[in-house]
Structure 1
Amino acid sequence: MHVEEGFAKFRGYQTWYRITGDIGKGKTPLVILHGGPGCTYDYVDSFKDLADSGRAVIHYDQIGNGKSTHLADMPAEFWTVDFFLAELENLLQTLGVGEGYALLGQSWGGMLAAEHAVRRPGGLRALVIANSPASMALWSSEAQRLRTALPQKVQDALKRNEEAGSIDSVEYHDASRVFYDRHVCRLQPWPEEVARTFAAMDVDPTVYHAMNGPTEFHVIGSMKDWSIIDRLDRIQVPTLLISGRHDEATPVTVQPYADLIPDVRWTIFENSSHMPHVEEREACMQTVSDFLDGVEV
């Protein structure tokens, strides 16, 4: 399998990318948008499996993360949806796929992919929104509901540290991990590529803290009021929704996509939380491959 890595220049910065397979040969290429905001490509690396079906798969690290340019000194207001949309568009044009491509966005990546799709770009052929909320208000309310099902001592530790401002404490980290092990990735131990992403975020949490906050369930960053619900009817391409039965992106958070995107279908993986692509890897890859082949892209 041909694998190529490189950098796309963007506004004086560099976006790292990797292509698995051959662009221009076979099926429509698929671009993978990782989550966070502030993760790395590592934890969604498994989508490279889709290249086995004759489809080039393009991973990249969004600026501020992974192998792309880090900007730890940038103020919070620098990190915007529009910035990451422009970076994506630049990557599509740099790689010469802007006239025909599919997008798969996971978590924040799905939110970003939906933002791209509502603008009706001419080259977009299909969309996969994986484990993504349609609004952060829904996400936050559901996260609080999921927190109430945690052991009481875990709830108390989370609340105590949030109120005290000691969210960097070992106690808070350990309590947060209980939530993550239930609703982010249920495999134990976490797969190496998942652990690698979280380790990278610990080293440089700039983007995550600016746009999200300290944890998945304590959203105080610039995205806290984000919603795409009132624009979803603008998406004109076939769309696949993916989520896990134990997902922090609960059915309530995903439902607006199912209700409002005109051409949509939804698969819930019964033995997964936020990462069916690692928790039920083979079944997830088959679902995505069947969808893309079925809409002939």
Structure 2
Amino acid sequence: MYTIHDGYAPFRDYKTWYRICGDLRNGQTPLVVAHGGPGCTHDYVDAFRDIAKSGRAVIHYDQLGNGRSTHLPDKPANFWQVSLFLDELNNLLQHLGIAENYALLGQSWGGMLTAEHAVTRPAGLKAIVIANSPASMALWLQAAARLRAELPPEVQECLLIHEAAGTLTSDDYRAASQVFYQRHVCRLDPWPDEVKRTFDAMDIDPTVYHAMNGPTEFHVIGSMKDWSIIDRLPAISVPTLLISGRYDEAAPEVVQPFADHIPDNEWVIFEESSHMPHVEERELCMETVAAFLAKHC
């Protein structure tokens, strides 16, 4: 087994909660896990702690505004920027004393953040895993529109009616959205408790998600709607593992630019998964990530 320690990293006037599974000083490159959203919590990617069984320390953290970190529901939408979360990540690495030697795994939005971090070529970054992430939101929206068009007609109609009316918190809209989520976000039924915890937390405080993304995964109207990293991807200089699911809302066309433009990458598609192979095919996903890391750091 492994030791577990949690704490807070001071960041500006706030606090970032983190948890370490394993020993940071045992000689193995530690893995930092960045959750998605923007606006989720670490809970739904908790499965990556399994990698600590191999002896490699695994660090989860809740990004600012989420989970056990400082919540800021009164901050204006323009407060929530990619640069804020890059600064927070760099601060955490410094606080933990691992900035000279670490690997980074980001899931969904966390993978976008990971790519943004990697293009700056930090000296201590040894490898990255980009899991279920788009290289641009334009591609994400195109894929979302295609997947929406495959939903039952009555579900599509319900979504359109409520989006036009602005009644995005209605029970009917939530129920219709769940049809999409069950197909393309997590295909397990029922959802695991850790996934439910994240979505419950987002319901309680959706500040970051609404500011940067929007009301749902497929109705993106927040500040990230025009985001792209495609033209900067050749700057990534570390080995990269790309992960996606066969039924993923991060469809192949949204991942393809990573494969096309990152010089040293490999791409694994999990055949029984959608957006969360780490819970949908947990054992195989952990084996895949652990083997990649063992090869490169």
User: What band does the TM-score fall into relative to the shorter chain?
Assistant: over 0.9
Q: CA-to-partner distance for each residue in 1:193-252, whole Å, 9 max, x for gaps?
A: 000000000000000000000000000000000000000000000000000000000000
1:272 aligns with 2:279: no
Secondary structure (helix, strand or coil) at the match of 2:176 reads: helix
Cα distance in structure 1, aligned partners of 2:20 and 2:168: 38
**Counterparts in 2 of 1:10-29, with a 5 A limit?**
10-29=11-30
Cα distance in structure 1, aligned partners of 2:3 and 2:251: 37
Cα distance in structure 2, aligned partners of 1:34 and 1:201: 13
Q: Where has structure 1 moved over 6 Å in runs of 4 or more?
A: none
1:47 is aligned to 48
TM-score by length of 1: 0.99
Is the 8 Å Cα contact of residues 128 and 240 (structure 1) preserved in structure 2? Answer: yes
Cα distance in structure 1, aligned partners of 2:27 and 2:191: 34
Cα distance in structure 1, aligned partners of 2:28 and 2:249: 33
2:126 is aligned to 125
1:169 aligns with 2:170: yes
1:109 is aligned to 110
1:26 deviates by 3.4
**Counterparts in 2 of 1:114-153, with a 5 A limit?**
114-153=115-154
Is the 8 Å Cα contact of residues 13 and 69 (structure 1) preserved in structure 2? Answer: yes
TM-score by length of 2: 0.99
Cα distance in structure 1, aligned partners of 2:285 and 2:28: 19
The letter of the residue matching 2:292 is: F
| Structure 2: tracts of 5 or more residues without a match | none
1:86 deviates by 0.1
**Counterparts in 2 of 1:137-286, with a 5 A limit?**
137-286=138-287
Identity %: 70
Cα distance in structure 2, aligned partners of 1:171 and 1:51: 41
Secondary structure (helix, strand or coil) at the match of 2:30 reads: strand
Q: CA-to-partner distance for each residue in 1:35-91, whole Å, 9 max, x for gaps?
A: 000000000000000000110000000000000000000000000000000000000
Cα distance in structure 2, aligned partners of 1:79 and 1:167: 22
The number of residue pairs the alignment matches comes to 296
Cα distance in structure 2, aligned partners of 1:26 and 1:44: 24
The letter of the residue matching 2:270 is: F
The letter of the residue matching 1:39 is: C
1:294 deviates by 1.0
Is the 8 Å Cα contact of residues 26 and 54 (structure 1) preserved in structure 2? Answer: no
Cα distance in structure 2, aligned partners of 1:141 and 1:52: 39
Secondary structure (helix, strand or coil) at the match of 1:55 reads: coil
Q: What's the RMSD between the two structures over aligned residues?
A: 0.4
